[in-house]
Amino acid sequence: MNIEPKQISLEKWDEQYNKLRKAGLYEPSYGGRLSRHVEDGDMRLLKLKYDNSAAALRLWNFLLTEEDRLKNARDNCKKLIGTMKDLGTIPVMAYSFENTIAFYPDGAWWIPCVMELNAGLLEIADSLGIDESFCPVRAMLGAFATEAHFPIPDFLICSVGATCDDFSAIAQRLNGMGHPIFWWEMPHRRNPKSYEDKVILPGGFAAPKCQLEFVKSELERIKVALSEISGQEMNDEKLSAGIIKANQVRKYLSELRYLAFTAELCPLPALEMLIAEMLAIHFCSDIDETIEVLKDLLDEVKTRIKNNTGFFDRDAVKIFWVNPVADLQVMNLLEDCGGRICGTEYLFSHALDEIPENIPPLDALAQMALADPMAGSTIDRASRICNDIIKYGSEAVLISRIPGASHCALEGEIIGQVIRENFDIPVVEIEVPPITDAMKPTVRTRLEALVETVKARPQNKIHKRRTE
């Protein structure tokens, strides 16, 4: 069925669903009408605009049925491994076992948005002493307390050290609530001294070899712990197979990002791209299905590019977006204001890089973990963003702060400064709380002004590096 790309409301999706079914829509086990998720209390879905393709429907249904998958996994005697704070590495290890499912409890930070604050998770976090001065990921505490949003994992793993101060505090509170956590330490990635052996990490950063050895020893501890909880031995062969599978996800995402960000007409809206990119870190509790979902999306994007169809005007301003948004609706808003996403840095860019397959698997995973943008300096992070601005031809940068998130408060200004030093393009910061309804006019003004600012500038100056 040939469908003209269009953004549609949830209500319209029901009509679209009927049309697709009549045309022979393939439906996975978690398929069905998108609107049914509202019955679970996901009220924000009523206010979003969606890509109207079958591939997008599959993506959304996959995302919104994770709780069912976790429950099924538990019923089938699989062990649920909560991999916290680490963005993308430990799940690869967990999926290398046959009877474990990795799960990302941090993802609960979107529940206040999706359920429009009705779940009361932030209030529970408040009552536990983790108030609004912390990142909204504190909603995770409420989810653990109510046990209403995901089954409590059999085993919790959390990285500390050079990760995120907010999350460390929140996870310690969780530990204190009677949820034991297996802690592992992530050192602050630093440049090697002249006398030190160094290693170049995926993504291009350098680190002293001794740091890599340390991270590897931490991953060894995790491997042993996972073997104990799963009752299975882990060997290099199984880990390598897990890496190959994770790389398949990363390859698809890499291609999807490149096509979506560089196509003349936007082939996939920002919201669906955001959801797709997030799959790199959590696989939505099913890595095999993640691969299928991404394959579908990639096929759809390729078809649209081939047919020269897509979304928004051809002169939509190409925005590089830094940090994920707490309110999903803001991604729609950017497009309403005349922008499109051409480049993203959602704090896990290392999870989009392929894991080396030509070195021992634990060494490869240690390299990936150490390449985490949050484990190094903000300058490293900004430098990677600058490289991607060139790669995707971004015309402006939008740094979205998350209220209470210490990383955003500290890093935004520095990232902005580095970008301004390198490019003659506008950089603007906005703050996006879990629900922006009351602030929508002010957020809209900033987004519209950013688009106007780019459009008012001479085109030939947009990508010029000041240093050139």
Residues 376/205, Cβ–Cβ less than 8 Å: yes
Q: Which one, 243 or 337, has the nearer CB to other proteins?
A: 337
What's the closest the beta carbon of residue 264 comes to other proteins, in angstroms? 21
Q: Which one, 108 or 450, has the nearer CB to other proteins?
A: 450
What's the closest the beta carbon of residue 12 comes to other proteins, in angstroms? 24
Residue type, 380: D
Q: Which one, 77 or 456, has the nearer CB to other proteins?
A: 456
Q: Which one, 19 or 455, has the nearer CB to other proteins?
A: 455
Tokens representing 413?
């200004």
Is residue 463 at the binding interface for other proteins, with CB under 8 A as the rule? no
At 19 the three-state DSSP class reads helix
Q: Which one, 43 or 414, has the nearer CB to other proteins?
A: 414
Task: Give the span between the Cα atoms of 109 and 434, in whole angstroms.
Answer: 9
What's the closest the beta carbon of residue 306 comes to other proteins, in angstroms? 33
What's the closest the beta carbon of residue 319 comes to other proteins, in angstroms? 13
Task: Give the span between the Cα atoms of 226 and 232, in whole angstroms.
Answer: 8
Q: Which residues 401-460 are close enough to bind other proteins by CB under 8 A?
A: 413, 417, 420, 424, 426-431, 439, 441-442, 445-446, 448-449, 452-453, 455-457
Partner residues linked to 161 by β-bridges: 186
Query: How many positions of this chain bind other proteins (CB under 8 A)?
Result: 22
Residues 267/274, Cβ–Cβ less than 8 Å: no
Residues 332/45, Cβ–Cβ less than 8 Å: no
Q: Which one, 411 or 431, has the nearer CB to other proteins?
A: 431
Tokens representing 374?
């949050």
Residue type, 454: V
What's the closest the beta carbon of residue 445 comes to other proteins, in angstroms? 5
What's the closest the beta carbon of residue 136 comes to other proteins, in angstroms? 16
What's the closest the beta carbon of residue 311 comes to other proteins, in angstroms? 22
Task: Give the span between the Cα atoms of 94 and 247, in whole angstroms.
Answer: 15
CA nearest neighbour of 16 among 44, 51, 52: 52
Enumerate residues 6+ apart whose C-beta is below 8 A from 28: 58, 61, 62, 289, 292
Residue ranges binding other proteins (CB under 8 A):
413, 417, 420, 424, 426-431, 439, 441-442, 445-446, 448-449, 452-453, 455-457
